[in-house]
Structure 1
Amino acid sequence: MPTARLNSGYDIPLVGLGTWKSSPGQVRAAVLAAVRCGYRHIDCAAAYNNEHEIGAALEELLAEGVVTRDQLFITTKLWNSDHGNVEAALRRSLAALRLTYLDLYLIHWPVTGCSGPVLTPSTGETWAAMEGCVEAGLTRSIGVSNFSRAKLQQLLDSPQLKIRTAVLQIEAHPYWPNSALLSWAAAQGLHVTAYSPLGSPDSERLLNRPKHTAAAADAPAGSSSAAAAVEAPQLMQHPMVQEMARRHGKSGAQVLIRWALQRSTSVLPKSANPERIKANLDVLSWSLADADMAALSRLAEVAPQRMVDGSFWLSEQGPYKTLEDLWGEPQPDLQALRQQVLGRYTNLDKPQPTAQLSSGAVMPLLGLGTWKSEPGQVRAAVLAAVRCGYRHIDCAAIYGNEQEVGAALAELLAEGVVSRQQLFITGKLWNSSHGAKDVQPALNKTLLDLGLDYLDLFLIHWPVTGCSGPVLTPSTGETWAAMEACVEAGLTRSIGVSNFSRVKLQQLLDSPQLKIRPVVLQIEAHPYWSNSALLSWAAAQGLHVTAYSPLGSPDSAAIMQRGDDARRLLEEPALLRIAEQCGKSPAQVLIRWALQRGTSVLPKSANPGRIASNFDVLDWQLTPEDQQALSSLPYRQRMVSGVMWLNPRGPYKTLQDLWDEDEGGAE
């Protein structure tokens, strides 16, 4: 169990058991289960009305020898009505807990119940009595709970102060990270304990909490209704939390506890369920990435919410008339915060061209390709793309980055930039998963990594299975039947193929077992490999074509083993001339060329500036003459030749076997 050294010289275990809201009879069993599975820190309070049950559990554990007293760290708190009788209150808690000393005693609230405008007794008077409890050996450390920075600073600045505050216990979770207060406390040498780390899901009715709000899930992003008031999900059920939990193979609660620990706070998850108590401790041997930590912290931008706001202490006659009086800080304007977040994004309302697929789905024609994005890059690329207007993201299991794409999607959905219905997400089945029993598990793995319940489109990546014999095994028919089953199971809305020749696709279309027609053919297409004949044939079949490598795949030459004499499309003289005439970049011209051929197109970039530039192709056109000039370039070159799939013993011995066309010249 990791610990933090307090300024009093004692160590506090960083994971503790919270005991607030445990029903009568529950807390004793919870403490027994917690200590037996490894907890050493128990957080109590006189106001919780269960110290006697906790005391019975501690007595049993000590008698059994499960722990010794010096291995435990027991905290309890001084209630509001006892500020004038501190030592007597502490002795009552010790009697109930069956202990001779506490490890930590906290002032529960900066509240005394006085009815006048001045806090009585004063915090200074209460603190002097707390110091007396340390000197009497009744507690080893003292601290405060629910104090603002201003109130705590006044205490620290008191000339009468003899013992510094060791701990500040505050509410802290992604909906209310309290980051500024944490930073200030660290600078003061104060340890912070985070309560309600799971968002206090069972306290809403008890505390009469108002419904907190987030951007409306189904509203068009950027519209006036995008910030409509709707209830935000409970923190543990938030899509971003759930996505991270799936990615790490953990629970939402474990993700939130881990987040708290990595902020250097101790943390007090509360549960009365022995299995959940044990699971909440399984947070010590793994970590969240820095990007995940930051993404969780940003939830407060859209849905800031105290779970324990202290409104019950407000009084027109008392020292705290408003929440600002109590907390010493302005309370957030939720609507303004949401509009500020949404205002960072551009092109949210810009109309995009789409294609109606034969399945009935609508595909945005401009998508972001994610192949060849380096680890750590693709998450930022997806964030930049969707924030500037892209709604179509093209993924594949073999790219090895679907978890990063999923983290970005979860963050975007959490911020309300888009709803799931506004996104079009494509995934692809890799060669090694073509068997009937392998297709659905492969798709489920993709969904898990992406943090999604369904795909918009699932493609067979290549007509390749890795078989070593002369016949393709499993057959394309067997694979396709399993793809159809994925549609029927609701795991994907549409299915299609990638890198299929006309011959191979016609064989699939002619199959008497076919139940669901392919809706998309994804192929390489750019002016150096226009694939015009295949495009015309696909259109006659009612198949939509997506063009990959539209910029000539300049960064794949080494990967694809292209010769040194291969030309770079982005440096083609005819292209540069047209780009200069249009006042556009060569990449923009190539993307516009693809769109004017009726294909969807997948430019790839990890540079936010180029991602935004690639999107600026929707409100201008190439002339017919420029379009034709690019379509008739004499140089011919596949950028992804498929040579890696050739095998003298396999089904594809030559490129002509793979593509069913003469690779030497005409398409």
Structure 2
Amino acid sequence: MSAQIVPRILLNSGQRMPVLGLGTYQSKSDNVKEAVSYALDVGYRHIDTAYSYGNEQDIGEVVQEKIQKGLVKREDLFIVTKLWSTFHKPEHVIPSLKKSLANLQVDYVDLYLVHNPCGFKYTDESNLFPTDADNNVWYDQTDHMDTWKELEKAVDQGLAKSIGLSNFNKRQIERIVQSARIKPANLQVECHAYFMQKPLFDFCKQHGITLTAYGPLGAPTRLFSVNPNDPVLLEDPVVVEIAKLCGKTPAQVLLRYLIQMGRIVIPKSKTTNRIKANFEIFDFEISPENVAKLGGLDRHLRYYPFDWCKDSVEFPFRDSY
């Protein structure tokens, strides 16, 4: 199956980003190796990871193996990783990126994102969730612009082709856009049929920023912030009905819907049959009538409320968007 089947969206950096990628959040060691290896064989060329996921090294080993065997070319891959919250201070940004590059065994990443607007106190590179003497999260409020200027330097040095943000709100993004020398190319946020983030999407579109949806299937396998009262998106009767009409699975319908609505999607899976099924979404379209039905599902439901950093002055979800 050719990787060319996945359309690519033009970023303001001039790069083209595949609209479908493999998410690797909560995927560890052998599981992530098998998933990435299989995904690359199927035709995925966009892999999303982060320093805080603890799996960059595993992904790097698989990517290098595929490149050395001539099965993929580095220039055909689109690799995304993220700057963690303990590395916001300017002196930590480039060293953290270089550590990620060493883990991934590549000379550059295609997209480097600031993972979270809430900064944490740096103690050492392995302590990702520092706490103070009272066991509270130990925040460090580095100015976002000071962090961003270092990401711009990473582009200048060829360490990142594009740079962007994750989990930032409109106000936080706008401040960077107004002052940045290199504008954000992409914003990665939770986005699915129950939470389409339309105001934020429209704002980003006005500024030439693409939007990547994490949790595009409603985060059914999340390990944190699980509320038993939350509705299950994959079981929504409207989604199930449209899937039957299209001869597709509910997951395939949800991914196709997001792509038709201009989002980039990074569904996470460790299961080969689901990885393959998630890739098989470019041979059908959802009708305007059914797009409208799916649009009616939006209920501003966050499956990831980020309660663990709600005390930060930069907690992004106090704002409406």
Larger radius of gyration: 1
The answer to whether the Cα contact below 8 Å between 1:501 and 1:660 also exists between their aligned partners in 2 is no
Picking from 224, 237, 240, the partner of 1:559 is: 224
**What's 1:549 paired with?**
215
Does residue 363 of structure 1 match 2:20?
A: no
Question: Which of 254, 267, 270 is residue 590 of structure 1 equivalent to?
Answer: 254
1:505 aligns with 2:173: yes
SS at match of 2:30: coil
Alpha-carbon distance in 2 for matches of 1:578, 1:378: 31
Specify whether residues 574 and 559 from structure 1 end up closer, same or farther in structure 2 by C-alpha distance, changes over 3 A only. Answer: same
1:22 alignment counterpart? none
SS of match in other structure, 1:639: coil
What amino acid maps onto 2:90 in structure 1?
A
Shift of 1:546: 0.8
1:659 aligns with 2:317: yes
Q: TM-score, normalised by structure 2?
A: 0.92
Find out whether 1:464 has 2:122 as its counterpart: no
Q: CA deviation at 1:660?
A: 4.4
The 5 A counterparts of 1:133-144 are none
8 A contact 1:348–1:387 mirrored in 2: no
Does 1:538 find its partner at 2:204?
Answer: yes
Cα deviations by residue, 1:138-185 (Å, 9 ceiling, x for unpaired): xxxxxxxxxxxxxxxxxxxxxxxxxxxxxxxxxxxxxxxxxxxxxxxx
Counterparts of 1:113-192 in structure 2 under 5 Å? none
* Secondary structure class of the residue paired with 2:239: helix
Residue 149 of structure 2: aligned partner: 481
Taking the aligned partners of 1:618 and 1:432, their CA distance within structure 2 comes to 39
Q: Are the equivalent residues in 1 in contact too, given 2:79–2:109 (CA < 8 A)?
A: yes
Letter in 1 for 2:250: P
Tell me the residue number matched to 1:454. Answer: 108
Letter in 2 for 1:585: T
Cα deviation, residue 375, structure 1: 2.9
Matches within 5 A, 1:198-213: none
Conserved 8 A contact 1:552-1:569: yes
Task: Tell me the CA shift for residue 636 of structure 1.
Answer: 3.6
Q: Is the 8 A contact 2:165 2:187 kept in 1?
A: yes
One-letter amino acid of the structure 2 residue matched with residue 445 of structure 1: K
2:125 aligns to what? none
More RCO (CA 8 Å, sep 6+): 2
Query: Which residue of 229, 232, 237 maps to 1:568?
Result: 232
The aligned residue for residue 640 of structure 1 is 304
Superposed CA deviations along residues 545-597 of structure 1, whole A, max 9, x for unmatched, are 111110111111x412x322111111111111111111101110011011101
Partner of 1:153: none
- Percent of aligned pairs with the same amino acid: 37
- Name the structure 2 match of 1:387: 41
In the alignment, the residues of structure 1 paired with residue 39 and residue 199 of structure 2 have an alpha-carbon distance, to the nearest angstrom, of 32
- Contact (CA 8 Å) 2:8, 2:19: kept in 1 or not? yes
The question of whether the paired residues in 2 share the 8 Å contact of 1:472 and 1:651 is answered with: no
Give the superposition deviation at 1:414: 1.7
Deviation at 1:350, TM superposition (A): 4.3
Distance, in Å, in 2 between the alignment partners of 1:471 and 1:423 is 35
Per-residue Cα deviation, 1:327-371 (whole angstroms, up to 9, x for no partner): xxxxxxxxxxxxxxxxxxxx1264321111111111111100000
Distance in 1 between residues matched to 2:90 and 2:277, nearest whole Å: 42
Change (3 A) 1:406 1:349: closer
Pairing partner for 1:578 from 238, 242, 261: 242
Distance in 2, matches of 1:406 and 1:600, equals 23
Q: Which amino acid aligns with 1:642?
A: F
The TM-score, its normalising length taken from structure 1, stands at: 0.45
Provide the rounded CA distance (Å) in 1 between the counterparts of 2:29 and 2:220.
19
CA-CA distance at 1:432 after TM superposition: 0.3
Where 1:495 maps in the other structure, the secondary structure is strand
CA distance in 2, matches of 1:456, 1:349: 17
Q: Counterparts of 2:316 and 2:18 in 1: how far apart (Å)?
A: 30
SS of equivalent residue, structure 2 residue 161: coil
Q: After superposition, what is the alpha-carbon deviation per residue over 1:457-513, rounded to whole angstroms, capped at 9, x for unaligned?
A: 0000000112589996211011001111111111111100011101110011122xx
Q: Find out whether 1:519 has 2:173 as its counterpart.
A: no
Following the alignment from structure 2 to structure 1, what is the Cα–Cα distance between the partners of residues 173 and 3? 37
For this pair of structures, how many residues does the alignment match? 307
1:403 equivalent in alignment to 2:79: no
Deviations 1:521-543 (A, max 9, x none): 11111011110111111111111
Q: What stretches of structure 2 of length at least 5 have no aligned partner? A: 122-131
| 1:348 counterpart residue number | 2
| Aligned-partner Cα distance in 2 for 1:406–1:471 | 31
Q: Which amino acid aligns with 2:69?
A: E
- Tell me which amino acid in the other structure corresponds to 2:6: Q
- Give unmatched runs, 5+ long, in structure 1: 1-346
Residues 401-457 of structure 1: per-residue CA shift (max 9 Å, x gap): 111101110111122111000000001000000110100111011011111010000
- How far 1:634 sits from its partner (Å)? 5.3
Q: Deviations over 1:87-114 (max 9, x none)?
A: xxxxxxxxxxxxxxxxxxxxxxxxxxxx
